[in-house]
Structure 1
Amino acid sequence: MRTSFLPWLVILCILCNWPTSTYSQCLRDQETLLLQLKTELSSFIGTKMMSWTPTKDCCRWEGVVCDRAGHVIVLDLSNERLTDGFNEFSSLFDLNFLQSLNLAYNFFSYLAIPSRIGDLTTLEYLNLSSSGFAGQIPIELSRLTRLVVLDLSSHYIFEQVPSLNLDDPNLMMLVRNLTALTKLNLDGVNISATGNEWGQAISSSLPNLEVLSMPNCYLSGPIDPSLMNLKFLSIIRLDQNNLSSPVPDFFANFRNLRVLRLSSCNLNGIFPEQILNIPTLQILDLSINEKLHGSLPTTIGSLNSLYVLNLSHNTLTGPIPSSIGNLTQLRSLDLSYNKLNGNVPLQLVNLTQLSFLNLSYNKLTGMIPWGRQFATFTETSFLGNPQLCGPVLNRSCYTPSPISPITLELCISMIVGFFVGLSAFVWPLLYSKSWNKTYYSYVDKIVLRILHWGGR
């Protein structure tokens, strides 16, 4: 039976000419929508949109990514300094295949987020952080049920500016349908919720959450125990909220936790030793919680993955444990403005990765350890510890100690005893005839000899 090789040659030719790139040509309607969007935002055209010209395929425009069919699925206009033109009538909301939208770091003049944002139901990534939006977050955002990442953060911390807020809808109404979320960033959004309100809203709706970032959101405490159901949390940021509670024991159950930031939260109670059982912790910031007291546990050295430790401006007492020298990955250590006492442990010289150190304004004593890495630290790292000494502070550690009252009294007694003893021996001799005769005979001989020498 003869075999024909012609069909195999045809298949081979097809395979050789099959395109290997995922690049597809932009569809005409997608190009039209993008050019229309460029016109709408024409008050200032950033560097990315300058490449948006009909002479070049729109799938190759900067900030634009298409799928294989030529639909725009990614639009990144971050850091373009856009100021206006983004409203309910924007052609942006007709990009029905969009999966990722990034408008971060623009300035939309404190306008409200357009409610038509809810039309982009294929979105999986939405980043509107620091883009100058203000006012009520629209309920239509809750229609984006495919969202995996939602970032509405505002980072304007040096001036009083209008902020986004969650009133109607509240936090529960916003997130109840966003069950696919793994990252939720609401930094600076005015949520104004109690501990059980915001805690239960998140824990009941977002079982897959990995990043919870809500600093400066006007949250109150205590932290609700329902949060312990979020087994995948790796980042917790709740700084600058009035939590008024201890650090919960159940935080130790977050076995994937890498970042815990609870600074300026009005925390109270004893330093939470249980969080030292989290093996993955890399950043621990419990600073500026003046009611947080107690001593640093000796087990602090078990956090060997830690590279930032900030416990400044609290009321911690006792010595710095020598086990802190086991934190060999540490880059930043701030224990300033506490009431720590005792010597600075010699084991600090083991922290060869350390680039920032602040032990100022405690009650530390003794000599500052000296190692090659310590040469980069100045006296500002140790100010406010008058009993510390060493080359960094230009303060000698070998100043003579003052004479104690007991030593001074002993010296006086010995001197008085010596002269009393001497008097007891010399005084009787002065009244002895034989001693007087010998004494004056000896003196006469000396005088005659001197006169003899002078007469020559």
Structure 2
Amino acid sequence: MGLPLSLFIFMPFLFVLSTLHLVFTLSSPFMQPLCHHDDSSALLQFKKNFIIKNSTSVFFLPTCDQKVASWTVEGDKSDCCSWDGVECDEHTGHVIGLNLSSNCLFGSINSNSSLFRLVHLQSLNLSYNDFNGSHIPSQVRDLSRLIDLDLRLSRFVGQIPLEISQLSHLSSLDLSYNYMYSFGHLITLELKEPILRSLVANLTSLQKLDLSYVNMSSTVPNSLANLSSLTHLGLRGCGLQGEFPKGIFMLPNLQHLDVSGNKGLTGYLPSFTWSSPLETLDVGFTSFSGELPASTGNFSFLTYLSMWGCNFSRSIPSSLGNLTKLNVLDLSDNYFVGNIPRSLGNLVQLSSLYISYCQLTGPVPLILGNLVQLFSLDISNNQLTGPVPLILGNLVQLSSLDISNNQLTGPVPLIL
């Protein structure tokens, strides 16, 4: 039996209407899904476990965001997707982001925390809070969709659980600066070597890894050099030992590398025959040694270079004058000999220059008067000779100048 003629006539019109209705349904702000009740309940229960601690006692934060204070199911704020610090998936309504950084939360997180019911979370930031010596529960594995996890400066202590290595989607993991004092003893986060190696082996998508001041007391695994996506590596003050893998310097995307404060860590800077994206390099207070290669001057993106308290020797290469984006250069407390390179006068963006406690000789280069952005200049405790250059009076931004314990002669220029 055929369709009526009138239906054929109106079919294009009906198709247009249905299409418009579909487009309106998908795009209308009034049709967005509300927060799921389970997620809302989990967030409110999480809130009840904490108090807002005086901001002056939590890492000297000037203010607290107190985002959780606005969480309520009453009135027009009943949808948790509208709560401060909460992000929902626009299609499903599930909570996918939780940012409670600097909320001055005080309390503990345990294995029963309702936080681990938010299984759709992709981003979790609990930094700058006070979790009062909590351990990171192994239930963190339930947040299997996490891409970003930031727990820095939140007074977590104890052993980092192996289950963190199961979060295979992580691109950013920051557990840095977690410690507290108890009865005069320093307690920190700890990461045993087998767990460290498992973490590096499984989290192959990492772009940022910061474990600064996590107690490792181990060698740096060579497998770190396999994380080709890594842009940020922070291992400051971890008790690292042994030789630092040269391959890490060759990571193609690495922009920030900080291994300072590990006196048991040895190593050297290789000669670089490639273009490096490094912007920050800090190997200060380690046992790195050897000659500073001329190719260090190829780090054209560097803004921060610190090598204080190491065992570097021979002369300071003049190629450092090529690092024209540098803001901070610290070569103090090494065994450098020879003159201060005149090429350092090219570093007109410098705000801090430290070359103290070396064995440098010769005059203070006049060209240092070009560094008009300097706030701090320290060339003390060397064997520099000759007069104090009058041209240092050009450094009108200086707030700190130390030229003591040298063999300088003549008067200090009045302009200083």
Shorter chain as denominator, the TM-score bin is 0.7 to 0.9
Deviations 1:334-389 (A, max 9, x none): 11222222222222222233222222222223232426651343674323335155
Is 1:65 the equivalent of 2:74? no
Q: In the alignment, what sits opposite 1:218?
A: 239
Is the Cα–Cα contact under 8 Å of residues 344 and 369 in structure 1 kept in the other structure? no
Q: In the alignment, what sits opposite 1:170?
A: 195
2:36 corresponds to which of 17, 27, 30: 27
Is the Cα–Cα contact under 8 Å of residues 374 and 398 in structure 2 kept in the other structure? no
Q: Which runs of 5+ in 1 are unaligned?
A: 396-456
Q: Which amino acid is the alignment partner of residue 308 of structure 1?
A: V
Is the Cα–Cα contact under 8 Å of residues 149 and 170 in structure 2 kept in the other structure? yes
Q: In the alignment, what sits opposite 2:70?
A: 51
**What is the SS of the residue equivalent to 1:162?**
strand
Q: In the alignment, what sits opposite 2:328?
A: 308
Is 1:87 the equivalent of 2:131? no
Larger radius of gyration: 1
Q: In the alignment, what sits opposite 1:348?
A: 368
Is 1:185 the equivalent of 2:205? no
State the alpha-carbon separation in 1 of the partners of residues 93 and 288 from structure 2: 53
Q: In the alignment, what sits opposite 2:150?
A: 127
Is the Cα–Cα contact under 8 Å of residues 170 and 191 in structure 1 kept in the other structure? no
Q: Which amino acid is the alignment partner of residue 199 of structure 2?
A: L
Change in Cα spacing, 1:333 to 1:113, as seen in structure 2 (3 Å) is: same
Deviations 1:113-165 (A, max 9, x none): 11101110000000111211111110111110000000111265998521111
Is the Cα–Cα contact under 8 Å of residues 303 and 327 in structure 1 kept in the other structure? yes
Change in Cα spacing, 1:287 to 1:66, as seen in structure 2 (3 Å) is: same
State the alpha-carbon separation in 2 of the partners of residues 282 and 22 from structure 1: 48
**What is the SS of the residue equivalent to 2:47?**
helix
Is the Cα–Cα contact under 8 Å of residues 93 and 119 in structure 1 kept in the other structure? yes
Change in Cα spacing, 1:366 to 1:107, as seen in structure 2 (3 Å) is: same
**Alpha-carbon shift at residue 85 of structure 1 (Å):** 3.4
Is 1:318 the equivalent of 2:343? no
Q: In the alignment, what sits opposite 1:423?
A: none
State the alpha-carbon separation in 1 of the partners of residues 273 and 308 from structure 2: 19
Change in Cα spacing, 1:228 to 1:363, as seen in structure 2 (3 Å) is: closer
Q: In the alignment, what sits opposite 1:110?
A: 133
**Alpha-carbon shift at residue 229 of structure 1 (Å):** 5.5
Q: Which runs of 5+ in 2 are unaligned?
A: 1-8, 55-63
Is the Cα–Cα contact under 8 Å of residues 266 and 289 in structure 2 kept in the other structure? yes
The TM-score with structure 1 as length reference comes to 0.77
Structure having the higher strand fraction is 2
Deviations 1:22-55 (A, max 9, x none): 9753222211111111112247596111011112
Is the Cα–Cα contact under 8 Å of residues 387 and 409 in structure 2 kept in the other structure? yes
Q: Which amino acid is the alignment partner of residue 322 of structure 2?
A: S
Which aligned pairs between 1:242-391 and structure 2 lie closer than 5 A? Answer: 242-243=263-264, 245-249=266-270, 253=274, 255-289=276-310, 291-364=311-384, 365-370=386-391, 373-377=394-398, 380-389=401-410, 391=412
Is the Cα–Cα contact under 8 Å of residues 245 and 269 in structure 1 kept in the other structure? no
**What is the SS of the residue equivalent to 2:173?**
strand
Query: Per chain length, whose mean CA-contact separation is higher, i.e. which structure has more relative contact order (CA < 8 Å, sep 6+)?
Result: 2
Q: Aligned-pair RMSD on alpha carbons?
A: 3.0
Greater mean deviation of Cα atoms: 155-164 or 301-310: 155-164
Q: In the alignment, what sits opposite 1:41?
A: 50
State the alpha-carbon separation in 2 of the partners of residues 76 and 379 from structure 1: 39
Q: Which amino acid is the alignment partner of residue 348 of structure 1?
A: L
Is the Cα–Cα contact under 8 Å of residues 243 and 267 in structure 1 kept in the other structure? no
Paired residue total: 390
Q: Which amino acid is the alignment partner of residue 381 of structure 2?
A: Y
**Alpha-carbon shift at residue 93 of structure 1 (Å):** 0.2
What percentage of residue pairs aligned between the two structures are identical? 37
Change in Cα spacing, 1:273 to 1:24, as seen in structure 2 (3 Å) is: farther
Is the Cα–Cα contact under 8 Å of residues 300 and 324 in structure 1 kept in the other structure? yes
Change in Cα spacing, 1:189 to 1:363, as seen in structure 2 (3 Å) is: same
**What is the SS of the residue equivalent to 1:142?**
helix
Q: In the alignment, what sits opposite 2:222?
A: 200
Is the Cα–Cα contact under 8 Å of residues 203 and 230 in structure 1 kept in the other structure? yes
**What is the SS of the residue equivalent to 1:294?**
strand
Which aligned pairs between 1:360-439 and structure 2 lie closer than 5 A? Answer: 360-364=380-384, 365-370=386-391, 373-377=394-398, 380-389=401-410, 391=412
Is the Cα–Cα contact under 8 Å of residues 172 and 208 in structure 2 kept in the other structure? yes
